[in-house]
Structures are given as structure tokens and as C-alpha cells.
Amino acid sequence: MLYILLMMLSISRTATLGARRLLRAKTGALRAAALHAAPDDASSIYAIPERDVDEAAVHQLVERHVAQHATYLNKRPIAAHTRAAFQTAAEFARSRAAPLIIDAGCGTGRSTLKLSARHPDRTVIGVDRSEARLSKSNDAPDNALLLRAELGDFWRLLNDSNDLRVEETYLLYPNPYPKDKHLKMRFQGHASLPSLLQACGHKLTVRASWRTYLEEFRLACRRAGELGIRPDLVSKGPYELSDLHDPLTLFERKYAKAGVPVYELVLDSDR
């Protein structure tokens, strides 16, 4: 009996190892296909099919989040690492006394470094939840800072600050969560949307390779404005970007090489 059990375990282990090798081979093949595909083929690999926006669903979520925003904040404790990161950000921003740009969800920090080079007279702070992604970045210049923090908490702390005022926020290629059922996970359907709009400053720039995402975002912000959350923000776009000779992010570089169109939505206050 023991012999039979040992044989069964050995067979199961062999099958598992074989499945893992097959999965690695398939994953490697997909990566190779994406890297070596012709632009039209690569575009089909990366592109997310566009679809009609469910305006009623977007409005319903925004209305709920605006109405329950105080409750959401009160029952959500701020993560200790985010509070510490915000303190570092606040001290850095105050020491420079320059207009502040937030690069929200900065990933590896490439976009933060690019933005700091383009705006040497600004303080640029990149925020991402992943320490692994941030660890891939090179040393930041004097006007830039990279931090690990939860964005919802970070925006809340910005809104509670007495003296830190953001001039501009970038939200570049956020996770699209493309399934219909995942609307609540996208920023435009998330409970933190009011905090984002209140903290984003005079201008919010959002980029995505999925135009539907930006159409949803635009509708969500418009409805939030109708409910009193940043009614001063006026949307421009989304429109396709034609000049990507110096991509801000690794995603943007990948899409440019593959011939995938990328889009930009700008929300600007009429200050």
C-alpha cells in the first residue's frame, strides 16, 4: 500500500513539473511573439477591445462614493508606511518651496525622472505601492523623490495638509481592469475618486492605451463635478497622442514600438 502511495505521489510530482515547464514555455513563446511581432501583430497582442461606456453604471458608482466618502475615510485607517512616506514627501516639498507635481502610480519611476527633467523648476514626487517596481529606478535628481505608499491614503493626507498644494498630477497607464465587472477597481469607479480629484491640483493628466477607460474617467469626473467635487475641472479629450518620440513610461515605449495608439485625457481648472 505504501509503495502504491509513493508511486502516486511521484507521478503527481512529475505531472506538476511537466505542467510548469509547459507553462513557462508558453509564456516565453508569448513574450517572444510580442517582442518580434510585426507592428500590426504586436498591436493585436497589446490592444484592449473598445466598447460602449455604461454611463448609468459609472454615474451610480460616483454618486455612491461621493455620498459615502466621509464614511469611507473614517473607517479606513491610514497605513503606517504611507504616513511615514508622506512625512518624507512633505519635508522634501517644503525644503524646495517649488510647485509640486505628483506622479501617481509611477511604477519603476521612469516617468518621475522624465517629468523632473522636463520641469527642473518643479518638485516631482513619484508614488507607487510596489517596492519591487520602485527598486528598479536609478537615483533621482535633486528635484525628484520616489516613495512607496498607498495612493488613496496619500491623497487623503495631501487633502488634510495645511500647506502642501499640488499644482499638477499625472496618472499614467493605470491598471485598466478591462472586465465589465471590475469597474469598481478602476480609479473612476473606486471609492478614492473624490480624494484624487480634491488632491490633484489645477491639472490632472491621465493616459491609457484603452480609450474606453478615459471615456469612463471623463464621465465619472463630470458627474463628480455636478455633485460638488471639483466642478472647476474641465475635461479636454480623450485624444490620441501622435508624438511619442520620448515615452514617459515603459508601457508607453512598448505601445509606441508596437504601433498601439495611446490616448490622453486632461482635466484642467479654469483658474
Query: DSSP string spanning 159-208?
Result: HH-SS--EEEEEEES-----SGGGGGGSGGGSTTHHHHHHHSTTEEEEEE
Paired sense of beta strands 166-172 and 144-148, if any: unpaired
Residues 19 and 74 in one domain: no
Residues 162 and 30 in one domain: no
Query: Which residues, including other chains, have CB under 8 Å from residue 218's CB and lie 6 or more apart?
Result: 235, 237, 238, 265
Residues 11 and 81 in one domain: no
- pLDDT higher at 75 or 15: 75
Query: Which residues, including other chains, have CB under 8 Å from residue 29's CB and lie 6 or more apart?
Result: none
Yes or no: say if 127 and 149 are a contact pair by the CB < 8 Å rule.
Answer: yes
Q: For position 177, what pLDDT does the model report?
A: 95
**Across 41-50, 94-103, 109-118, 262-271, least confident range:** 41-50
What is the spatial distance between Cα 176 and Cα 47, in angstroms, rounded to a whole number?
Answer: 11
In a domain, 47, yes or no: no
Query: Which residues, including other chains, have CB under 8 Å from residue 80's CB and lie 6 or more apart?
Result: none
In a domain, 43, yes or no: no
CA-based max dimension of the chain: 81
Instruction: Name the residue range of residue 105's domain.
Output: 52-269
In a domain, 254, yes or no: yes
Is-cis flag, bond preceding 174, omega within 30?
no
Which CATH number is 156's domain given?
Answer: 3.40.50.150
- Residue 254, Cα to own-chain centre: how many angstroms? 16
Residues 76 and 151 in one domain: yes
Give the amino acid at 48: I
Q: For position 59, what pLDDT does the model report?
A: 98
When pLDDT is averaged across residues 66-79 and rounded to a whole number, the result is 93
Q: What per-residue string of b and e applies to 37-51 under the rule 16 or more CB within 10 Å gives b?
A: beeeebbeebeeeee
Residue 10: pLDDT above 60?
no
Residues 150 and 75 in one domain: yes
pTM given for the model: 0.83
Yes or no: say if 205 and 74 are a contact pair by the CB < 8 Å rule.
Answer: no
Residues 15 and 145 in one domain: no
Q: For position 7, what pLDDT does the model report?
A: 52
When pLDDT is averaged across residues 83-103 and rounded to a whole number, the result is 97
Report the number of distinct structural domains present in the chain.
2
**Across 41-45, 184-188, 197-201, 236-240, least confident range:** 41-45
CB-neighbour burial class of residue 30 (10 A; exposed 0-12, middle 13-18, buried 19+):
exposed
Cell digits for 253?
A: 515605449
Q: For position 244, what pLDDT does the model report?
A: 85
